[in-house]
Structure 1
Amino acid sequence: MKKQNLTLTIDATKATGKVSPLHYGLMTEEINYSYDGGLYAELVRNRAFLNDPQKPAHWTAVGGANLTLATERPVNDALPKSLKIECATPGAGAANDGYWGFPITPNTTYTATLFARGDVGGLTLTLQSRDGKTVYAQTRLPAVGEGWTKRTATLKTGKATPTTDAVFAITAEKPGTLWLSLVSLFPPTWNNRPNGFRKDLMQLLVDLKPAFLRFPGGNYLEGNTIAERFDWKKTIGPIETRPGHPCPWGYRSTDGMGLLEFLLWCEDMGAEPVLGVYAGYSLRGEFIKPGPELEPYIQDALDEIEYVTGSVSTKWGAQRAKDGHPKPFKLQYVEVGNEDFFDRSGSYDGRFAQFYDAIKAKYPHLKVVSTVGNEQPASKRVKSRKPDALDEHYYRKAADFIRDSPTHFDRYDRTGPEIFVGEWAAHEEVAPWLPPSRNLPATPSMKAALGDAAFMTAMERHADFVTMQCYAPLFVNINPGGRQWRPDLIGYDALKAYGAPSYYALKLFSTSVGDELLKVSLAGAPLLASVTRQSKTGKILVKYVNPGDTPQAVTIQLPGVRSIKPDATVITLAAPPDETNSMEKPTHVAPKTTKLSGVKPEFAYTFPPFSITLLTLEAR
């Protein structure tokens, strides 16, 4: 087929605006086993025996033991149940199957913690194959007694072949009865933090160089009911004091990922927190009326902000210091609620106003975000107060993003509130809210990545007022039953992880962005490009998307630029639309870097079909 002849004009004579330093970030919530069974490195599933009220889910008997749930003599109020193990013979006990297995890697030290009591003598902790024939690591704990004691031990593997075909077993030295509570096992974690994060998943996130993290989530913040919301005060302190709560995506959250862990996550990535506070509305329609009934929830939000930002002389700043982090965290944005365009009560305007006034009174420097954006009907939007920013969410077919992106943000009022695109993702043809398709993997194809890149060019061209944006969902456990939503940026099992083509598209954009916006136009086709400049180096970063099945021959013009370095760097992500990445082929679709010579203030370049390209030019 004949190549298209297009002209891309970049006006480098002056910047048209400043790129928000927070433009590229991340959004997270407990969905698809993103925390438990995902980033949160805990390996024991149902560690507190609260996942099922009738039986010890994910625990099985070893050596003919009898397992039941017990409620007598709990460790504390947060751990109301324990596992009662009646051991008729030495070597009897219980085994946990983990989150679809335990990751066994060679020469690795695992840290175990548990509460135990009983009359069975010492305990043996073992990482072993499911059939019990292979022992990967083992250690012994001294005898337990009548009262609860907290025990810690380490297990180290040798020259093991990596596998997830493993369980974690706890067995008794002699016959008797053993009670266990809060059984935990951690592999090595990112920065060796206790109660920390998976190293491979953190590396994938750090490599994106995110400027912010929106947490603790969308629906996860609200909960199905008020009682099931993210109640932050129950998520701080030692893990044995955290009761956990039901997650709105069909499973229980341990709350091992508590408020401080989210903040440490930000710190470890060099990112700022964007804090979502519960605003009095839950998914099944329960809500708190504006007025006196809402005041306790507003105070709770103020306390949460104090925990994040307060000095050690404040009540909640002192609590943060007690929890291990005396230094306050930087905070600029607070989001009131989540997706309140779904609010059927009509109460969001009043609730937002009450939160807005209270936050501004105590923290006038903070920017307060409304969860109802410009794309919603006027009847849904906040009228009582002018938000500092509006959160907008977009889940669309790739083709729709490609069609809409050239002009989407052109109609916005640049003098209005900032725009925060707090959730967005392109999908292929199957809507993300439908049940998982047997024909589509959890992570998207190149087709979706092209739609994602098209939308990113639109957001980046307007990055002076589209101040923040983040793809969602971030994670998915690819095991059967692990997924509730697609598409997802990063897939993993207990042992390995990989990024989707969309991950590499985002990485290409987020790690190569200037601080100045340059005006760009395209003659001959819709504009699916964005251009920024690094003011200190003069580098011009050109991002161009060709979603079509033919090459695009483009004349690139830089009027006003008298001299340019003749050699440029080209990074290209290109593949047929149906191509994707998987656990077996984690980098099947990944960027390739080449050099381009003969660059002038006007030069030609042909963009391959189905491609996302970054050209780095150096004006002199």
Structure 2
Amino acid sequence: MGTKGAATLLAILCSLLLLSLSCGCLAPESEGDQTALLEVDTSWKAARKIPQTLFGLFFENCALGFEAGGPYTPSNIDPWSIIGDESSIYVKTERASCFSRNIVALRMEILCAKCPAGGVGIYNPGFWGMGHGFRKELIHMLVDLKPQFLRFPGGTFVEGILLRNAFRWRETIGPWEERPGHYGDVWNYWTDDGLGYYELLQLAEDLGAEPIWVFNAGISRNDQVDTTAIAPFVKASISLERSEWPLILYKDVLDSLEFARGSAKSTWGSVRAAMGHPERFPLKYVAVGNEDCDNTKPFYQGHYLKFYNAIRGAYPDIQIISNCDGSSEPLDHPADLYDFHIYNSANDLFLKKDTFSRTSRTGPKVFVSEYAVHVDGDTSKGSLQASLAEAAFLIGLEVNSDIVHMASYAPLFVNDNDRKWNPDAIVFNSWQQYGTPSYWMQTFFGESSGAVIHPVRLNSSYSGSLAASAITWQDNEDIFLRIKIVNFGPNAVNLTLSATGLEAGVNASRSAVTVLTSNDSLDENSFDDPLKVKPVKSGLPSAAEEMQAMLVPHSFTSFDLALDEYGELAADM
């Protein structure tokens, strides 16, 4: 080949190389150039009221005492820790307490004449119990979620792996020093039961939330009572030693309801009054067991009917929740609500956002009492990606809130010194706390309960990565149209918002946009960087009935459009 031919070939190769490089540079830009149109019908004719109870909290008990080793001594004092060494302090447990039902005491002898500057003693690394006080900063985090209900005390904590270790409400009331405590065998810790039935009713009251009492139905993870022997669970007042519980169980649901709702002169209402609360607790929801309706627990439905008939007869206004899933086929027993739990990977949970779109609208309502991104073996402690999938799932619950009446994330709290489950909404230790992205995600739904939901229509070739809803809500000063949209994908989206049927103008000066995102979809919060993933709120000067916005990749965005003519609109709501 001659020089001229070589030069020509070189020119062609260079041109091809440049074309290849150009295409390579343009490809990501082309892939990221997504558009979407979100249409919202805000007419009152198309609107629907969301149940007042839609979003709340699930509290799994976590009150530990230094009787971790049980009633025998010497024993481990975990979760308490010793400050100092054997030359400065001597600590042991012994059966020397003056309280007959809580016999284990801790003896501490200070050995140093001139003790270290940091002091000596024992400390509790952030667990509740032994005085059952709540840390204010943790409770403020709950208040900020604006919960409408509190489900307690579990969860699997209610069941126990064995019935002898199940939660017994009678053992958790009265002076804390007289509560014997019990071994929480599901989560492997000794609980002093300082945070008991009474304290959790108080917590619901303080939060302004409806209490939901989950009681043991005569079934644990590994054993169960035959339905012919379930009567003591339902209505008998029998006092037995804990060792006898597997045979004739001490639990008595009607007495527990009388404790909460009975007059101060009733048998159990007087116990409540003596503890300092003569007023009745407004307990209107009970759940019969937890995750008990499956093929391994053949007695559940027989048990359930016994409880249902007894409770309905004594308290006809109480809403009764079944463990059996009625989302795909009707229940074969009466219930006001049925319990639904869902734990999936982020991708799978995002795809489950339309789960209840195909559920029958007749029969009991849905209580999604436990939802979260969770995969066994995954060490993630709560990522942005997980929170986005959960947000999309909750948007689906909002859209289907004609049948879904309650939902709560699980678990709510974890002590960083004793992690048994990942992820959780709120992480704490003895002096710090932070919210995971899943916690911050829930703040976007604080105004949804009791609001008005509007139909939306999303048009985009990228809609498989988007989820959206629209509500009208009001605070003390303004009324807002809130449009929430999840961008679960890796590309930015040029969004056009169009609200039709508005009976008021949009006030841009009072409107705002809030975005939850981060540099990486797998980013997590931590004690070192507790606000790495947190919502950022800013003004929205472009707010209008029709407006343009950019959705950044891996984000959850809430547009709050302030509406004029507040008085007339509020009257319509």
Q: Calculate the TM-score normalised by the size of structure 1.
A: 0.76
Given that 1:421 and 1:466 are in contact with CA atoms closer than 8 Å, whether structure 2 keeps it comes out as yes
| Residue 287 of structure 2 is aligned to residue 256 of structure 1 | no
- 2: distance between equivalents of 1:563 and 1:82? 67
Question: Structure 2 counterpart of 1:168, which letter?
Answer: I
- 2: distance between equivalents of 1:345 and 1:168? 43
Judged with a 3 Å threshold, the aligned counterparts in structure 2 of structure 1 residues 532 and 35 are, in CA distance, closer, same or farther, namely farther
Judged with a 3 Å threshold, the aligned counterparts in structure 2 of structure 1 residues 249 and 51 are, in CA distance, closer, same or farther, namely farther
Given that 1:19 and 1:463 are in contact with CA atoms closer than 8 Å, whether structure 2 keeps it comes out as yes
Q: Which residue of 1 aligns with 2:276?
A: 324
Judged with a 3 Å threshold, the aligned counterparts in structure 2 of structure 1 residues 67 and 610 are, in CA distance, closer, same or farther, namely closer
From 411, 419, 422, the equivalent of 1:483 is 419
Given that 1:49 and 1:69 are in contact with CA atoms closer than 8 Å, whether structure 2 keeps it comes out as no
Corresponding residue SS for 2:442: helix
Q: Which residue of 1 aligns with 2:341?
A: 393
Given that 1:562 and 1:601 are in contact with CA atoms closer than 8 Å, whether structure 2 keeps it comes out as no
- 2: distance between equivalents of 1:506 and 1:206? 12
Judged with a 3 Å threshold, the aligned counterparts in structure 2 of structure 1 residues 585 and 512 are, in CA distance, closer, same or farther, namely farther
- 1: distance between equivalents of 2:89 and 2:419? 33
| Residue 408 of structure 2 is aligned to residue 470 of structure 1 | yes
Q: Which residue of 2 aligns with 1:27?
A: 58
Q: Deviations over 1:144-191 (max 9, x none)?
A: xxxxxxxxxxxxxxxxxxxxxx7439xxxxxxxxxxxxxx9999x99x
- 1: distance between equivalents of 2:448 and 2:299? 42
Question: Structure 1 counterpart of 2:104, which letter?
Answer: K
Judged with a 3 Å threshold, the aligned counterparts in structure 2 of structure 1 residues 49 and 83 are, in CA distance, closer, same or farther, namely farther
Q: Which residue of 1 aligns with 2:10?
A: none
Q: Deviations over 1:41-71 (max 9, x none)?
A: xxxx516873765434347685588766544
Q: Which residue of 2 aligns with 1:541?
A: 482
Question: Structure 1 counterpart of 2:60, which letter?
Answer: E
Corresponding residue SS for 2:146: coil
- 2: distance between equivalents of 1:70 and 1:562? 72
From 287, 296, 301, the equivalent of 1:344 is 296
Count of residue correspondences: 504
- 2: distance between equivalents of 1:563 and 1:515? 17
Q: Deviations over 1:119-139 (max 9, x none)?
A: xxxxx9xxxxxx951256xxx
Corresponding residue SS for 2:409: coil
Moved more, 226-235 or 3-12: 3-12
In structure 1, the gaps of 5 or more residues are 37-44, 94-123, 125-130, 137-165, 170-183
Given that 1:335 and 1:369 are in contact with CA atoms closer than 8 Å, whether structure 2 keeps it comes out as yes
Question: Structure 1 counterpart of 2:182, which letter?
Answer: H
| Residue 175 of structure 2 is aligned to residue 238 of structure 1 | yes
Corresponding residue SS for 1:25: strand
| Mapping of residues 600-619 of structure 1, within 5 Å | 600-619=544-563
CA drift of 1:450 comes to 0.8
Percent identity between matched residues is: 32
- 2: distance between equivalents of 1:529 and 1:63? 63
- 2: distance between equivalents of 1:63 and 1:462? 64
Corresponding residue SS for 1:422: strand
- 2: distance between equivalents of 1:593 and 1:65? 51
| Residue 370 of structure 2 is aligned to residue 423 of structure 1 | yes
Higher share of residues assigned helix:
2
- 2: distance between equivalents of 1:200 and 1:246? 28
Could you say what the CA RMSD is over the residues aligned between the two structures, in angstroms?
A: 2.9
Judged with a 3 Å threshold, the aligned counterparts in structure 2 of structure 1 residues 198 and 423 are, in CA distance, closer, same or farther, namely same
Given that 2:70 and 2:183 are in contact with CA atoms closer than 8 Å, whether structure 1 keeps it comes out as no
- 1: distance between equivalents of 2:449 and 2:407? 14
Given that 2:293 and 2:301 are in contact with CA atoms closer than 8 Å, whether structure 1 keeps it comes out as no
In structure 2, the gaps of 5 or more residues are 1-28, 236-251, 565-573
| Residue 312 of structure 2 is aligned to residue 289 of structure 1 | no
Given that 1:449 and 1:502 are in contact with CA atoms closer than 8 Å, whether structure 2 keeps it comes out as yes
| Residue 41 of structure 2 is aligned to residue 18 of structure 1 | no
CA drift of 1:374 comes to 2.8
Q: Which residue of 2 aligns with 1:571?
A: 514
CA drift of 1:571 comes to 0.8
From 531, 536, 540, the equivalent of 2:470 is 531
Q: Which residue of 1 aligns with 2:149?
A: 212
Computing the radius of gyration over CA atoms, which structure comes out larger, 1 or 2? 2
Judged with a 3 Å threshold, the aligned counterparts in structure 2 of structure 1 residues 69 and 403 are, in CA distance, closer, same or farther, namely closer
Given that 2:71 and 2:104 are in contact with CA atoms closer than 8 Å, whether structure 1 keeps it comes out as no
Q: Deviations over 1:66-91 (max 9, x none)?
A: 766544x6524312334467x7xxx4
- 1: distance between equivalents of 2:178 and 2:295? 33
Given that 1:563 and 1:600 are in contact with CA atoms closer than 8 Å, whether structure 2 keeps it comes out as no
| Mapping of residues 499-510 of structure 1, within 5 Å | 499-510=435-446
From 32, 35, 41, the equivalent of 1:5 is 35
From 343, 361, 377, the equivalent of 2:313 is 361
Question: Structure 2 counterpart of 1:549, which letter?
Answer: P
From 530, 534, 545, the equivalent of 1:590 is 534
- 1: distance between equivalents of 2:486 and 2:88? 62
